[in-house]
Amino acid sequence: MSAERGAYTVESLAKGLRILALFSERRSQLRLTEIAGALDIPMPTAFRLVATLVGEGYLERLPDGALRPSAAVLTLGFAALRGLDLVQSSALILRELAESTKQTVNLGVLSHDQVVYVARLQSDSSLVTANITVGSTLPAFCTSMGKVMLAYASDADLAGRLASGSFAGSWGPNAVTSLAALRTQLERVRSDGFAVQDEEVAGGLRSIAGPVRGDGGRVIAAVNIAVPAVSFTIDDLRERCCAPLLAACAQISRRMGAPA
């Protein structure tokens, strides 16, 4: 934890935001006990935080007692995502990449242990993640974009972002289930300069991702190409998509101020 974060963090606000971050495409509803367990906080604390979020309109309670995010959550950042300099600077490059590969292209940034989709150009291919849109999130550990961004994080940052709860949920057949196993994958990513996802998010989906760097060479985002596994082997993915993907990432990086 940085000195600034330790000195100025409002812990109750931080916990409330962590509650919102628990929800995803695969975890669209949660019970109070699940929230308390995932964040390792007492039930009374979880109750107060959830009651506040419900009262402010960011969570809604279902008839069976489960909780889910309300539409008000989208207003927190959806419009801002579209206005990001990163999105604007990469729009034409991403479009050209999608047209040249005829596959789905995504741009994502890292938010704690999740990848937030900030741009998406969907192909006509039938993908199991067809319902992913701008603003959607997926766990970083099992996505190609997430692994690219985590690969260049410091050990302390990685440990701070990922806990046992980060690997929870029902994901693809090849998803890792521990930080130790993920670290092995991240070593390969750093060596290769790109990340591959082989039916880790879901069965039937493969993708390859490259890093987008900003001022000073820091990795600030990632781009991926997502393909149906029935049409692409891992070797196909590397041979047909890696070169144009990394070229696009390099172009975006230069626009974001990365060293040549």
Report the distance separating Cα 113 and Cα 115, nearest Å: 7
In which element (H, E) is residue 99 found?
Answer: helix 85-101
**Residue ranges in the chain whose pLDDT is less than 70:** 1-9, 25-26, 71, 74-84, 130
- Residue 5 and residue 42 in contact, taking contact as beta carbons nearer than 8 Å: no
Report the distance separating Cα 79 and Cα 180, nearest Å: 37
Bridge partners, residue 137, by sequence:
116
Backbone angles phi, psi at 208, to 5 degrees: -135, 140
Number of Cβ within a 10 Å radius of residue 69: 20
pLDDT at position 32 is 95
pLDDT at position 182 is 96
pLDDT at position 1 is 45
CATH topology of domain 78-255: Beta-Lactamase (3.30.450)
- Residue 96 and residue 248 in contact, taking contact as beta carbons nearer than 8 Å: yes
Nearest to 133 by CA among 86, 171, 81: 81
**Token pair of 65 as six digits:** 């007692």
CATH topology of domain 3-74: Arc Repressor Mutant, subunit A (1.10.10)
Report the distance separating Cα 138 and Cα 145, nearest Å: 10
Secondary structure E strands in 29-169: 59-61, 67-69, 104-111, 114-121, 137-139
Write down the domain spans for the chain: 3-74, 78-255
pTM of the full predicted structure? Answer: 0.71
pLDDT at position 2 is 46
pLDDT at position 74 is 60
